[in-house]
């Protein structure tokens, strides 16, 4: 089994504008996942401290949300149109691997999908990244199970949209992007050798 090993040296965000100019700002915690909300602010998921930090597009810290105690090592968070958050969590060694819908203030779990780490339908082994379409259906990258799961807006299981058979033999999905207008799902998959991601490419699916 391969585990996703990410080494972060600098606790900052790098911003590259369309002209190619680069800037950076400090997060002051280890950033794990990034997303942009409807206000065009950047959401940074910090797994060690169980926080979502919201920054303006110029790097001003707007707020910090501390997630519930049982959301252990959150990897990625996306904010829905009504202000709630979809968060995935579960790393090697964690007993619980799941996707949660969390209240807008970050304090309460409204609904969750998953639980004990596993490979059966309804279980996860490394839910690493999320994408949400314009109807708020949720796509979940399941790193060690080598698949992408589709959930309803209420986090009920619908189906597998990407399976083992759709991916390169022994490679693992790491992240994804949903093109809402074209209804295309872009999945980045990587070869993993001795806990290091050594090669990769992007696979495109119509959904």
**pLDDT value of position 4:** 43
Residues whose CB falls within 8 Å of the CB of residue 171, separated by 6 or more in sequence, listed in order: 146, 189, 190, 191, 192, 200
Which range is least confidently modeled, 2-6, 36-40, 143-147? 2-6
Q: Full-prediction pTM beyond 0.75?
A: yes
In this prediction, residue 158 carries a pLDDT of: 97
What mean pLDDT is predicted for residues 2-7? 44
Question: Which region, left, alpha or beta, applies to residue 62 given φ > 0 means left and ψ of -120 to 50 means alpha?
Answer: alpha
Q: Which two tokens stand for residue 93?
A: 């060694």
**pLDDT for 152-182, tens place per residue?**
999 999 999 999 999 988 899 999 999 999 9
Greater confidence (89 vs 11) lies with 89
> Which residues lie closer than 8 Å to 206 by C-beta, 6 or more apart?
183, 184, 185
Instruction: Tell me 107's DSSP state.
Output: -
Cβ atoms of 101 and 110 closer than 8 Å: yes
Query: Is 23:165 a contact under the CB 8 Å cutoff?
Result: no
What's the CATH code, domain 12-16+32-167? 2.120.10.30
Residue 5: pLDDT above 50?
Answer: no
For residue 172, give both structure tokens: 């693992």
| Mean pLDDT of the 83-98 span | 95
């Amino acid at each position: 089994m391969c585990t996703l090993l990410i080494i972060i040296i600098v606790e900052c965000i790098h911003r590259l504008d369309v002209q190619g100019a680069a800037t950076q700002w400090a997060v002051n915690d280890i950033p794990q996942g990034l997303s942009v909300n409807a206000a065009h602010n950047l959401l940074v998921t910090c797994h060690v401290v169980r926080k979502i930090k919201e920054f303006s597009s110029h790097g001003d810290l707007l707020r910090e949300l501390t997630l519930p105690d049982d959301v252990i090592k959150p990897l990625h968070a996306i904010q829905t149109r009504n202000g709630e958050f979809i968060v995935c969590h579960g790393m090697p060694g964690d007993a619980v691997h799941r996707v949660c819908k969390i209240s807008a203030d970050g304090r309460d779990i409204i609904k969750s999908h998953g639980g004990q780490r596993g490979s059966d339908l309804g279980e996860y082994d490394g839910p690493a990244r999320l994408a949400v379409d314009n109807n708020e259906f949720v796509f979940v990258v399941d790193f060690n199970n080598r698949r992408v799961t589709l959930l309803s807006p209420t986090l009920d299981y619908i189906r597998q949209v990407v399976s083992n058979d759709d991916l390169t033999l022994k490679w693992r999905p790491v992240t994804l992007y949903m093109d809402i207008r074209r209804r295309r799902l872009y999945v980045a998959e990587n070869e993993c050798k001795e806990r290091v991601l050594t090669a990769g490419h992007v696979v495109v699916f119509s959904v």
